[in-house]
Homo-oligomer: A and B are copies of this chain.
Amino acid sequence: MAKQQSGIDIDLGNRCSQIAYGWAKKTFDFRPQSSGSPVKGLDGAFSNVMDFHGVKIGMSSDGIGTKIELAERTGIYDTLGFDLIAMVADDLAANGLETVNLSNILDVDFLDDRVVDRLMKGLYEAAKFARITVTGGEIAELGNRIGGWGKGMHFNWGATGVGVLPPGNEVIDGSKVKAGDAVVSLKSRGFRSNGFSLLRKIMRENFGENWHLEPYEENCTWGEKLLLPSLIYSPLITDLLKEKLSIHGIAHITGGGIGDNLARVLKVSGFGAHLDNVFDPLDVMLKVQELGSVDDEQAYRLWNMGNGMLLIVDKAQVQSVLEFVKGRGYQAQKAGEIIPQAKIELQSRGMKRKTLVYEVE
């Protein structure tokens, strides 16, 4: 299964990530007993959390991939900031960290000040939503090292967030997960910033080069529909943790889908999950699946399929969690429960409903 339908070689990607992590890990002892040393987890593994004179801080970097092409195609540039902050802050939130600062790097081929203005306005609005300060930024003009769609300014956009562990809290690393815990799903509102290589391929094959102009529904093109910005969960998680509810694990559903991202959380405890009531995919996801004849296995690996974040909570607190989340305007439902076996059984709700099984290892 080396090559996916999208043309991305998953095995090579994993190998490169392992190479990078291997070299990075050798740096972890460059700061013994001094500020900024990585914190060890219960199992002796390092987390991405560092200790600064007792204050625990994490940092996380990510970009928004080829979703940017949708902005180039539609000329709508002021929503990508939500995708960028979602990718970064929701990864930190999954460890129980409150993202407080963000620094971004915008690589462009050449500058268009009107586009830069729209991008940064969107980042501002997303930062307001997420209660984050944008305290750093860099714009680099890289000429032909940057490409993209059409004639306008092309760019790639990444960011690093810094999150702090609220004093008195512990890092959420999945170590407290136990059989019988409930899994609560938080609904997504569209595609996030992953799986766009296959999305674009399916669109092109079905509608030709200018697929983004194709109507999706009244007053909305396919381009606009696929561009819809990510919902940011980070401020919700921050507030939820203040309620002192027992959140044992959090999975942010990005590339790799529910399978990979939930397995990463579960492998600390060695438990598994039975998920028979996840949210249905959004209509647009089902339509894309149909257009591309994408099976549920792949759809659930590449896309969030309606579930942007999964919370593992003490079963006695499910109702409290659901009510709190709904009170904040997000949609949530109990999606399943933690089981003793080290596997994830997911009742898919894509084109062909079936049971997808992932090993927790």
- Residues of A near any B CB (own CB < 8 A): 8-9, 12-13, 15-17, 19-24, 26-28, 30-31, 34-38, 46, 48, 50, 52-55, 57, 59-63, 65-66, 68-69, 98, 100-101, 103-107, 111, 113, 116-117, 120-121, 123-124, 127-128, 131-148, 154, 156, 158, 160, 162, 164, 167, 197
A68: B residues at CB distance < 8 A: 145
Apart from A31-B100, A62-B105, what are 18 other A-B pairs with CB-CB below 8 Å? A19-B117, A20-B120, A20-B139, A24-B134, A28-B133, A31-B133, A36-B100, A46-B135, A53-B164, A60-B136, A61-B160, A63-B140, A65-B140, A66-B145, A107-B107, A142-B156, A146-B146, A147-B147
Q: List 17 A-B contacts (CB under 8 A).
A: A19-B117, A20-B139, A23-B123, A28-B133, A30-B127, A30-B133, A31-B132, A31-B133, A35-B55, A36-B98, A36-B164, A50-B100, A50-B101, A61-B103, A62-B138, A140-B156, A158-B158
Q: How far is the CA of A28 from the CA of B137 in the complex (A)?
A: 13
Q: Considering the chains assembled together, what is the distance between the CA atoms of A136 and B28 in angstroms?
A: 11
Cβ–Cβ < 8 Å partners of A59 in chain B: 59, 101, 103, 135-136, 160, 162
